[in-house]
């Protein structure tokens, strides 16, 4: 009988630390060829967009598919715009083991990918300054992943929505006991050692010419060919790593726009994150290089997180079994 896990159940068992490890293992499987990651299938129906994201991780024993929908008119029906659920299957029989809420899982696994990137691409020194653009759902998880992987001196945050920043600071200070400062303008964040862009902005957030040497950037927001958070200068002058080369060149305006402008070629793409995890390529090699991790969000992250959540829920005896 499949186990049903609601958002509260998922929240009660999923930690960022464990998720970073699971996601790191998933990227290693992708690099080693033991993962199957078909392209995302999209259906655009009259009322909205449905995305189907399947993945298989052989070594981890994870077979899963996430379904995410974006239906813009839902608020008029008192419903959220986005729904997400993950279906986890038994790798031996194919039967459905579990159906779980996918929203919290998505935010944590997205943070976790940046946590993995920090391990290989950020400088290793103590007292790092973190700059976060955006203060929404993803930004909170990005900060959690920073907390797990970096020694933080202080955090600078910027959002065009003043209320969102204020709420972020109150909530995150309570959760992480960090010094978090509201920046007066986007340029103040350029003094950071690690920058995270987690906004819904379709246009660049800062002038890459002003970045300081040694900065690492986790670029997680924009993910359509015409939207970008980074300008051409930043991408052209950085060591560019992505979660998937294919996704970067088919979905990410951050990479596709500089390519279209002929400012970079496909060869500018340095490595996939999995190639750093498996030591096929070196991560950061000097304290001066500017590094970018372009995160598009892959179904292998969802599958790894779903398997982790299911195992922990089974061990804790939570959730409800339903005979379908």
Ligand X SMILES: NC(=O)c1ccc[n+]([C@@H]2O[C@H](COP(=O)([O-])OP(=O)(O)OC[C@H]3O[C@@H](n4cnc5c(N)ncnc54)[C@H](O)[C@@H]3O)[C@@H](O)[C@H]2O)c1
Q: So which residues are the catalytic ones?
A: 66
| Per-residue mark of binding to ligand X, 80-119 (x: CB under 6 A) | --------------------------x---x---------
CB of 154 to ligand X, least distance (A): 19
Residue of 1, 95, 4 lying closest to 320 (CA atoms)? 4
Q: How far is CA 7 from the centre of its chain?
A: 19
Q: For residues 110 and 234, which CB has a smaller minimum distance to ligand X in the complex?
A: 110
For ligand X, the binding residue among 29, 148, 159, 254 (CB under 6 A) is 159
Q: How far is it, in rounded angstroms, from Cα 295 to Cα 311?
A: 26
Going from the C-alpha of 270 to that of each of 77, 188, 293, 301, 311, the distances in angstroms are: 46, 29, 10, 21, 35
Reading the block at residue 24, the tokens are: 């790191």
The values of phi and psi at residue 181, to 5°, are -120, 135
SS3 12: helix
User: Shortest distance, CB of residue 170 to ligand X, whole angstroms?
Assistant: 15
Interface segment toward ligand X; rule CB under 6 A; list 11-19, 91-99, 217-225, 263-271? 217-225
* Binding of residue 253 to ligand X (CB under 6 A): no
- Among residues 57, 218, 72, which one has the least CA distance to residue 150? 218
Check residue 197 for interaction with ligand X (CB under 6 A): no
Piece in contact with ligand X (CB under 6 A), picked from 12-20, 34-42, 218-226, 306-314? 218-226
Helices (H) and strands (E) in the chain, counts: 10, 16
Q: Which one of residues 4, 49, 129, 137 is an interface residue with ligand X (CB under 6 A)? A: 137
Taking residue 136's Cβ as centre, other Cβ atoms within 10 Å add up to: 17
The single residue among 25, 135, 232, 244 that binds ligand X, judged by CB under 6 A, is 135
- Residue 216's H or E segment, with its range, is strand 216-219
**55, 86, 88, 139: which one contacts ligand X (CB under 6 A)?**
139
In the complex, minimum distance from the CB of residue 109 to ligand X, in angstroms, rounded to a whole number: 8
The minimum distance between CB 219 and ligand X, in angstroms, equals 8
Binding residue for ligand X (CB under 6 A) from 65, 296, 303, 306? 296
Residue nearer to ligand X on the CB measure, 134 or 319: 134
Return the number of other C-beta atoms located less than 10 Å from residue 44's C-beta: 9
End-to-end CA distance of the chain: give it in Å, rounded: 7
Residue 302 CB-half CA count within 13 A: 31
Rule CB under 6 A: choose which of 25, 31, 128, 201 binds ligand X: 201
Of the candidate spans 58-66, 97-105, 177-185, 292-300, the one that interacts with ligand X by CB under 6 A turns out to be: 292-300
CA distance 141 to 132: 11
Residue 169 binds ligand X, judged by CB under 6 A: no
Among the residue ranges 12-20, 40-48, 60-68, 200-208, the one whose residues contact ligand X (CB under 6 A): 200-208
Binding piece for ligand X, criterion CB under 6 A, among 12-20, 234-242, 255-263, 293-301: 293-301
Whether 305 and 22 have beta carbons less than 8 Å apart is answered as yes
Cα dist from 186 to 45, 90, 110, 176, whole Å: 37, 47, 23, 23
Can you tell me which of 15, 41, 187, 200 binds ligand X, judged by CB under 6 A? 200
Rounded-to-integer distance, Cα 300 and Cα 38, Å: 10
Q: Which of 297, 303, 310, 313 binds ligand X (CB under 6 A)?
A: 297
- Which residues sit at the interface with ligand X, rule CB under 6 A? 106, 110, 133-139, 158-161, 164, 198-201, 205, 220-223, 295-297
């Amino acid at each position: 009988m499949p186990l049903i896990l609601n958002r509260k159940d998922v929240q009660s068992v999923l930690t960022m630390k464990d998720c970073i490890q699971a996601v790191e293992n998933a990227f290693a499987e992708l690099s080693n060829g033991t993962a199957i990651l078909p392209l995302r299938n999209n259906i655009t129906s009259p009322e909205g967009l449905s995305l189907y994201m399947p993945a298989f991780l052989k070594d981890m024993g994870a077979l899963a598919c996430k379904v995410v929908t974006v239906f813009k008119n839902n608020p008029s029906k008192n419903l959220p715009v986005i729904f997400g659920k993950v279906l986890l299957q038994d790798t031996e029989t194919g039967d459905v083991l579990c159906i779980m809420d996918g929203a919290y899982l998505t935010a944590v696994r997205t943070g976790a990918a940046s946590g993995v990137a920090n391990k290989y691409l950020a400088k290793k020194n103590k007292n790092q300054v973190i700059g976060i653009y955006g203060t929404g759902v993803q930004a909170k998880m990005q900060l959690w992943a920073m907390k797990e992987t970096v020694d933080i001196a202080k955090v600078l945050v910027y959002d065009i929505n003043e209320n969102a920043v204020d709420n972020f600071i109150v909530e995150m200070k309570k959760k992480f006991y960090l010094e978090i400062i509201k920046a007066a303008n986007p340029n103040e964040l350029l003094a950071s050692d690690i920058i995270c862009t987690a906004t819904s902005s379709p246009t660049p957030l800062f002038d890459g010419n002003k970045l300081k040497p040694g900065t690492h950037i986790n670029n997680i927001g924009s993910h359509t060919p015409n939207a970008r958070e980074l300008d051409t200068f930043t991408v052209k002058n950085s060591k560019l790593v992505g979660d998937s080369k294919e996704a970067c060149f088919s979905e990410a305006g951050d990479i596709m726009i500089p390519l279209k402008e002929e400012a970079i070629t496909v060869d500018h793409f340095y490595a996939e994150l999995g190639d750093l995890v498996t030591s096929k390529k070196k991560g950061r090699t000097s304290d001066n290089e500017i590094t970018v991790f372009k995160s598009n969000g892959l179904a292998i992250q969802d599958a790894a997180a779903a398997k982790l959540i299911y195992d922990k829920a089974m061990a804790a005896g939570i959730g409800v079994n339903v005979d379908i």
